[in-house]
Amino acid sequence: MTASGTFGYGPEFSDFIDVTRLGAVIVKGTTLNYREGNPYPRMAETPSGMLNAVGLQNKGVNYFAEHIYPSIKGLNDNIIVNVSGSQIEDYVATAEKVAQLDGVTAIELNISCPNVKQGGMAFGVTACGAAEVTKAVRKVYPKTLIVKLSPNVTSISDIAKAVEAEGADSVSLINTILGMAIDAERRKPVLSTITGGLSGPAVKPVALRMVWQVAQAVQIPVIGLGGIMNWKDAVEFLLAGATAIQIGTANFIDPAVTVKIIDGINEYLDRNNFSSVQEIIGALEV
């Protein structure tokens, strides 16, 4: 799958890859109303990664349903909408609207975006808050509900358990890690928002650890992401217990990386005489 916010709506990459080969396309974070996002500069390159502070720029769920969805319907069998909000009612209203779109097979509930003031992260950082949004959206959304977890917490397993108890079908992790970059010469923050979300290889060890912990803690499928750059990284997440993986920042470095990772995983399975990817999920020998 492609990670929300790093793959646009999908057509951006159709010159480079056959988008139908992907397990799913997760589109940009979508909110109830139009959001202008944060002011430029929104990005800072950091050692082996980047910070972003896009701030959920999007045209709102109605615009998505009327103008974007018709043009991407059929791009992939699994179009997943990443839903964000700042209040429970917004999440619910957005999910209700998305539920009407036949071609969208799942929602990924983003309760973990670090880049919006009183944004989803407030829900994502406590087990109580996470459970509350999940419960509310679960009531109105009958299809697959994935909850995307924030790494900016003390115990991610507790939060995963809380959303599982409220009926989440799956959890995905991790979202970006809160970070900061400073321009020493100008003595100013690089980002307009001062802090932003770290992604890329720099976060991989943290993501891998969290996927491992959450996979031990819950029964529902875990989707792993964070710094996956190649098939080897992907296999590590599968071994740690992820049943699926998402590719984010790597798409910026190589727009064809997703299909290369699919091929690489298949070659790994063949080379090691596994007949299916199921055999390596959680197969870490400790």
Partner 1 sequence: MKKYISDLRLVSTEELSSDYFLMKFTSNEPLPEMLPGQFVEVKVDNSPTTFLRRPISVNYVDKETNELWLLIHAIGDGTRVLSALPVNSIVNMVYPLGNSFTMPEKASERLLLVGGGVGTAPMLYLGAQLYAHGFHPTFLLGARTASGILQLEHFERFGAVFCTTEDGTMGEKGFVTQHSVLASQPAFSRIYSCGPKPMMMAVASYARKNNIPCEVSLENTMACGVGACLCCVEDTQKGNVCVCTEGPVFNINQLKWPI
Measure Cα distances from 220 to 145, 192, 245, 277 in Å. Answer: 11, 38, 14, 17
Give the chain's radius of gyration (CA, Å). Answer: 18
Q: Which does 57 bind (CB under 5 to 8 A by kind): ligand FMN, partner 1, none?
A: partner 1
The β-bridge partners of 199 are 50
Active site residue 113: yes
Dist. CA 2–CA 23, nearest whole Å: 8
**Euclidean distance between CA atoms 117 and 247, whole angstroms:** 26
Contact positions toward partner 1, by CB under 8 A?
A: 5-8, 12-13, 15-16, 28, 36-37, 39-43, 45-50, 52, 54, 57, 200, 249, 251-256
Which of 180, 138, 175 shows the shortest CA–CA distance to 153?
A: 175
The C-alpha atoms of residue 180 and residue 201 are separated, in whole angstroms, by 16
Nearest to 79 by CA among 164, 8, 166: 8
CB of 105 to partner 1, least distance (A): 21
Does the protein bind ligand FMN through residue 170 (CB under 6 A)? no
Query: Among 6, 94, 170, 213, which residue interacts with ligand FMN (rule: CB under 6 A)?
Result: 6
Nearer to ligand FMN, 42 or 184 (CB): 42
113, 153, 191, 217: which is the annotated catalytic residue?
113
Contact present, 215 and 221 (Cβ < 8 Å): no
Task: Give the nearer residue to partner 1 in terms of CB position, either 43 or 239.
Answer: 43
Choosing among partner 1, ligand FMN, none, which partner's interface includes residue 283 (Cβ < 5 to 8 Å by kind)? none
Among 65-73, 197-205, 237-245, 267-275, the segment contacting ligand FMN (CB under 6 A): 197-205
Residue 176 near which of ligand FMN, partner 1, none (CB within 5-8 Å, type-dependent): ligand FMN
Pick the binder of ligand FMN from 152, 170, 249, 258 (CB under 6 A). Answer: 249
Among 56, 61, 235, 240, binds ligand FMN (CB under 6 A): 56
Query: Which region, left, alpha or beta, applies to residue 54 given φ > 0 means left and ψ of -120 to 50 means alpha?
Result: alpha
Query: Going residue by residue from 105 to 124, which x/- string records binding to ligand FMN, judged by CB under 6 A?
Result: -----x--x-----------
CA dist., res. 65 & res. 275, Å (int):
40
Q: What's CA 213's distance to the chain center, in Å?
A: 18
Residue with tokens 């509930």: 109
Residue 255: which of partner 1, ligand FMN, none does it interact with, CB under 5 to 8 A by kind?
partner 1
Residues 211-240 that bind ligand FMN (CB under 6 A): 225-228
Q: How far is CA 259 from the centre of its chain?
A: 18
**CA 217, CA 84: separation in Å to the nearest integer?**
25
Residues with a known catalytic role: 113
Contacting positions for ligand FMN (CB under 6 A): 3-6, 28-29, 52, 54, 56, 82, 110, 113, 148, 175-176, 199-200, 203, 225-228, 247-250
